[in-house]
Amino acid sequence: MKNRSLLWLLLLLAVAFATWKLYSNKKQLEQEAELSKMTRAFVPVDVVQPKMETLANHLEADGIFLPFKEMFVISETAGRVLETYKNKGEWLKEGEIIAKVDDELLRIELEATQGNLAKLRKDKERLTNLIEGEAAPKNKIEDIDLGILTAEAKEKGLKKQIANTSIKAPMTGTLGMRFIERGSVIGPGIQVAQMTNLEKLFLMVKVTERDVLNVKKGQRVSVTADVFPNLNIAGRVTNIGLRADNAFTYDVEIEVINPDGNPLRGGMHAKAKFTFNANRQGLTLPRKVIAGSLQEPKIYVVQGDSIAVLRTIRLGGIYGDKVEVTSGISQGEQVVLTGQLNLVDGARVSVVK
């Protein structure tokens, strides 16, 4: 009996100790959480205010190179590929044969048509002699003339079909892809290859509604590819978009001559530098205030000296380490310059004086 009472006493002590330990750990976690909140309650940040400045008479716009010419080679015939003559990466001139499709049946039909045509012409010659001798009526020759016209049309059609069995390059350029091999069976409308011409390139850039008014068709532009930052390439504006996209920017197409050896490729990034005649006023911010990308620019604006609000803005031109802001911010507002990595929308901040 005495041992049983001692056992119950020890059990009660163990339960009490476990309860106290759990309570102690909970209080410690709560204290650490409160400490974490206190230490992170205010994120220190530097701020800057937008400035109204005289913008330079030039504009930089980022864009992507597109091939001057690019097209698929489409089959105009049906049959089995007998031979391929060109491989990927080869330079072709317009009209060079890429592949040959079986044309045996077409040639047999052409020979039969030409034989029939020769017979009709002989029959016409004999009938003409008979008509001249008044041995046959004149209306008989009309049927032969109709047969000759039908046979000649069929002959032309067969020759065209035979010519189509030689699949030729529709343009001068590089054979980028070839989708057929010897033994492949193809039909009309099938893509058999893709060709690209990189002797010239188009740089597609976007400019704002304010800047597009200064861009002129035929205007000379300086282009710098990201992969060749020290190489300036002459460009010329060939087309200007007639309507804005969803971001209220306009497409501008710039034609450039690919340098010797065609080092540039479609899809490469580049910058176009436009030079205009007059300066103008614009609201600017340092480029480093942008949170995210220049395509979807956002900034943190400090409201009430302690709350950082994430705001979407619209950019104009890029001028070195500054960007022009066309909407979304006004003079006098405080924009976070450093410390954005530690911020979320609605975070509490402490402005470093």
| 9 domain-assigned | no
pLDDT at 253: 96
pLDDT at 285: 92
* Same-domain status, 307 and 170: no
| 8 domain-assigned | no
- Token pair, residue 52, equals 């109204």
| 257 domain-assigned | yes
Q: How far apart are CA 207 and CA 210, in angstroms?
A: 8
Beta bridge pairs of residue 74:
191
* Same-domain status, 188 and 218: yes
pLDDT at 38: 43
Beta bridge pairs of residue 251:
206
Neighbours of 157 (CB within 10 A): 14
* Same-domain status, 79 and 128: no
- Ranges in the chain, pLDDT < 50: 35-39
Residue with tokens 């040959």: 100
| 20 domain-assigned | no
Q: Which DSSP string corresponds to 66-85?
A: EEEEEEEEE--S-EEEEEE-
The CATH number of whichever domain residue 150 belongs to comes to 1.10.287
Domain count of the fold of the chain = 3
pLDDT at 191: 94
pLDDT at 153: 95
Q: Which DSSP string corresponds to 145-198?
A: HHHHHHHHHHHHHHHHHHHHTEEE-SSSEEEEEE---TT-EE-TT-EEEEEEEE
The CATH number of whichever domain residue 179 belongs to comes to 2.40.30.170
Q: How far apart are CA 169 and CA 72, in angstroms?
A: 10
* Same-domain status, 93 and 202: yes
Torsion of CA 80, 83, 86, 88, to 10 degrees: 60
Taking alpha carbons only, the member of 26, 43, 66, 36 closest to residue 253 is 66
Taking alpha carbons only, the member of 240, 226, 309 closest to residue 274 is 240
Torsion of CA 274, 278, 279, 282, to 10 degrees: -80
Of 230, 247, 278, which marks where a domain is finished? 278
The CATH number of whichever domain residue 310 belongs to comes to 2.40.420.20
| 7 domain-assigned | no
Q: How far apart are CA 337 and CA 49, in angstroms?
A: 9
Q: Are 112 and 154 in contact (CB under 8 A)?
A: no
* Same-domain status, 94 and 177: yes
* Same-domain status, 184 and 229: yes
* Same-domain status, 144 and 248: no
* Same-domain status, 85 and 196: yes
| 2 domain-assigned | no
| 12 domain-assigned | no
Torsion of CA 145, 149, 150, 151, to 10 degrees: 100
Of 116, 132, 164, which marks where a domain is finished? 164
* Same-domain status, 61 and 86: yes
| 28 domain-assigned | no
Of 278, 304, 330, which marks where a domain is finished? 278
pLDDT at 339: 83
Domain that holds residue 90: 57-101+165-278
* Same-domain status, 85 and 225: yes
Residue count of the chain, please give it. 353
* Same-domain status, 274 and 294: no
pLDDT at 293: 79
* Same-domain status, 71 and 213: yes
